[in-house]
Amino acid sequence: MANSWWEIKILGDPDLEDLIFWRLDSFGCRGMSCESKGHSQLIRAHLPQNQAHLLDLAALSLWLRQDALTVGLPLPLTQWHLIDEEDWASSWKQHWQPTEIGDCFLIYPAWLSVPQQTDRLLLRLDPGAAFGTGTHPTTHLCLEALEMRIGYDHSHPVIADIGCGSGILSIASVLLGAKKVLGVDIDPLAVRSARSNRELNQISADRLVVKKGSVELLSHLLGEKKVDGILCNILAEVIIDLIPGISAIASPHSWGIISGILLDQAKPIADTLEQHNWTVATLWKRQEWCCFNIRR
């Protein structure tokens, strides 16, 4: 098969959902979905074939079982098989439905016809192979935090979105009135996805700039200028190294929304932020995940 993907199916106790998502996320899976099956939950995840060998998948299955053992829940059943690109796209699309987030967003799959009437901000999305449908607790937290931060103050900030994935947070920022957003991601598939979602939401390439790279590129693009707000939803291990770079593009009045952090990873992140002159104003949590609202 030309463009093949592993489809990984995990049947497990609903209380394992977060742990399983976290494990799959760390493994590099994309296009994850979840559906109820009686008293269990069936989680599907996808991974390009060239990113994992059979042995890696066997190890993943073992880790998932160990995770369940650690928390004293029944062991999940993991299966995998190869599917081609088209089957991958249609497989998870069936399970992703429009989602209301916060008081103002409606995240809407691109392949559904647009609703006639809605009093919400419609954010149309086809994440493709990128992360960011709004269903993950961290994206959800970031969207709610963003709404609270700029949804009601008409300040039209300039925002950096580091690890933009599908572009969901960048687009949400524009819908809430950001003057300009700079989105970066190291994954070329994410860049492609964010650009096509920018078009889908009829946002100009001047207002939402999407580039392949990370915080160093932002620094280069900005030159002497600073951003008003920073969004960064990546895993804690990555964020900790990005904090100096994030701090360098911030002004004395900047704010940030930082997520992708498991609750038990919060302290080292908070400490490092404080060492770089940030105040952790609030910490929001959803399931095992947390989101920092920070300011200078």
Ligand X SMILES: C[S@@+](CC[C@H](N)C(=O)[O-])C[C@H]1O[C@@H](n2cnc3c(N)ncnc32)[C@H](O)[C@@H]1O
Interaction site with ligand X (CB under 6 A)? 130-132, 139, 142, 162-165, 168-169, 184-187, 190, 214, 233-234, 238, 260
**C-beta closer to ligand X: residue 10 or 130:** 130
Cβ-Cβ contacts under 8 Å for 169 (sequence gap 6 or more):
132, 139, 142, 143, 146, 161, 231, 233
* Rounded least distance, CB 142 to ligand X, Å: 5
Cα torsion for 126, 139, 255, 239, to the nearest 10°?
-100
Element (H, E) at 238: helix 236-248
Residue listed under structure tokens 């925002």: 159
Environment class of residue 141 by beta-carbon count within 10 Å: exposed (0-12), middle (13-18) or buried (19+)?
buried
**C-beta closer to ligand X: residue 7 or 187:** 187
* Rounded least distance, CB 161 to ligand X, Å: 6
Cα torsion for 18, 21, 25, 29, to the nearest 10°?
180
**C-beta closer to ligand X: residue 5 or 131:** 131
The b-or-e profile of 235-247 (16+ CB within 10 A means b, else e) is bbeebbebbebbb
* Rounded least distance, CB 68 to ligand X, Å: 23
DSSP letter (8 states) at residue 49:
G
**C-beta closer to ligand X: residue 123 or 142:** 142
Instruction: State yes or no: 185 annotated in a binding site.
Output: yes
**C-beta closer to ligand X: residue 64 or 190:** 190
* Rounded least distance, CB 245 to ligand X, Å: 9
Distance of alpha carbon 163 from alpha carbon 102, whole angstroms: 22
**Phi, psi angles (nearest 5°) of residue 84:** -90, 170
Instruction: State yes or no: 264 annotated in a binding site.
Output: no
* Rounded least distance, CB 238 to ligand X, Å: 5
Its sign, for the CA torsion 81, 85, 86, 91, is positive
Length of the chain: 296
**C-beta closer to ligand X: residue 157 or 183:** 183
* Rounded least distance, CB 215 to ligand X, Å: 7
Binding residues: 139, 163, 185, 233
Residues annotated within the binding site for S-adenosyl-L-methionine are: 139, 163, 185, 233
